[in-house]
Structure 1
Amino acid sequence: MSSTQIIASESEVILHFDLKLEDGSAADSTRMNNKPAKMVMGDGSLTPNFEACLLGLQTGDKKSFTLPPEDAFGLPNPDNIYYLERSKFGPDSDLAEGAIMGFAQPDGSELPGIIRSVAGDSVTVDFNHPLAGQTVIFDVEIVNVINQD
């Protein structure tokens, strides 16, 4: 068995997290399916300030930290809001306000968008992250740390 590993700048980290909003409402959790998340520090998938909160933690540690919007999912960008013609959607599309839809990208990937409003032939779609602009509280439990020797 190896000794306890400490999270460093290029560690692979397996962790459970609970993500809450300031009002205490749950936004996401790995515990729902009891499947921890796996990430690599420094790969760009997390903001630098989120990673900074994890540095120095080790297997078994539990920590809670609050991140303002700019350090979590960013601030809403008005350039990510699009006005599309209703005719661009299929007849069976759920265009209800608040519905999340997938939009095909040229590279074949799918980008989620939130229907913000439907007015006549115009549909407003917001491609900002659903938690953009929100202060979030992360409760993390470090399950395992793998460091490259």
Structure 2
Amino acid sequence: MANYTIHYKLSHANGALVDEAWDEPLVFEVGDGQLDPCLEKCVLDAKLGELQTFLLSASEAFGERYDEAFQFMSRDDFPSDFNFELDAAVEFQTPAGDAYVGCIDQIEDGQVRVNFNHPLAGADVSFQVKILDIAS
């Protein structure tokens, strides 16, 4: 697989910056998990040395937001010293050992609502990329 060196900016369609590697370029190998597959596809479609902007709909980017991905959990399901904060990311382990990250979306009485959607689910995004180098 090829190694890419890129500059990039990922923004909501409204212009709010989400992530960037502009001062320090990102070096990654296709498929290594550093970039989401939807962004890797844009890099593969980009031309070396050209600054390009890809406008991705929610379905093309990180998917739609699903109500089923919101789960209510008891405060008792969390460690006793857990600091409950809105929008805090929490990692959960399944019995099989897989890890899932959710964000605390709502805190009421003894219940906590956790959002397991991707943080950018439901959002149209702009991905600006410039390929600096491609090495085999």
- TM-score norm. by structure 2 comes to 0.82
Encode CA deviations 1:69-108: one digit per residue, 9 max, x unaligned. 0011110122221111110111221222211112123344
Structure label with greater radius of gyration: 1
Q: Are positions 1:14 and 2:15 aligned together?
A: no
8 Å Cα contact 2:42-2:54 kept in structure 1: no
1:3 maps to which residue? none
Q: Percent identity?
A: 26
1:93 maps to which residue? 82
Unaligned runs of 5+ in 1: 1-9
Aligned in 2, Cα 1:35/1:52: closer, same or farther, shift over 3 Å? closer
More strand per residue = 2
Aligned residue runs from structure 1 range 21-100, under 5 A: 21-31=12-22, 34-40=24-30, 45-47=36-38, 51=41, 54-55=44-45, 57-58=47-48, 60-100=49-89
Unaligned runs of 5+ in 2: none
1:52 CA displacement: 5.4
**Greater alpha carbon shift after TM alignment, 11-20 vs 114-123:** 11-20
Matched residue of 1:36: which SS? strand
Matched residue of 2:122: which SS? coil
Paired AA for residue 17 in structure 1: Y
8 Å Cα contact 2:103-2:114 kept in structure 1: yes
Q: Distance in 2 between matches of 1:16 and 1:106?
A: 39
Matched residue of 1:131: which SS? coil
